Amino acid sequence: MNIRYQVVVIDAADLAPVSGFWAGVLGGAVDAEDDWHMVMDRDGTPRIGVQLAPNHVPPDWPDGDQQQQLHLDLWVTDFEAAHDEVIELGAVVLQQASDVTAEEGFQVYADPAGHPFCLCWHRTALA
């Protein structure tokens, strides 16, 4: 099997805010069609697909009836800068880290459609 790209596909009732959010996180761009947006990274490689799902119900993480459907862990070298950037792009914090100055950890966010993702760090390993 020769796989050229590996793409995670997420559902959204409104494609533009979600694909725009992830394009901003990846520093890339969106190739938009009516019911599908492909998010490219800064090198133009397809990374995340956003497909139209008019009846999409956002997950209610961690304890709701509509449980998490998937999540992404993004390992960052500068947590504080990454946090500021995803908040500016429209993320909301779902679960704060107990200590953002710790050697390693994670903080949980949601994208504009409610999909959870984590900003993770390991200061020594990722420096």
Q: What is the pLDDT along the chain (127 residues), one digit of tens a residue?
A: 666 777 899 999 999 999 999 999 999 999 999 999 999 999 999 999 999 999 998 888 778 787 767 778 898 989 999 999 999 999 999 999 999 889 889 999 999 998 889 999 887 766 6
Residue 13: the pLDDT is 94
Residue 61 sits at φ, ψ, to 5 deg, of -85, 140
Q: Is the pTM above the cut of 0.85?
A: no
CA distance 93 to 99: 14
Please report the pLDDT score of residue 68 as a whole number: 66
Q: What pLDDT shows up at residue 95?
A: 94
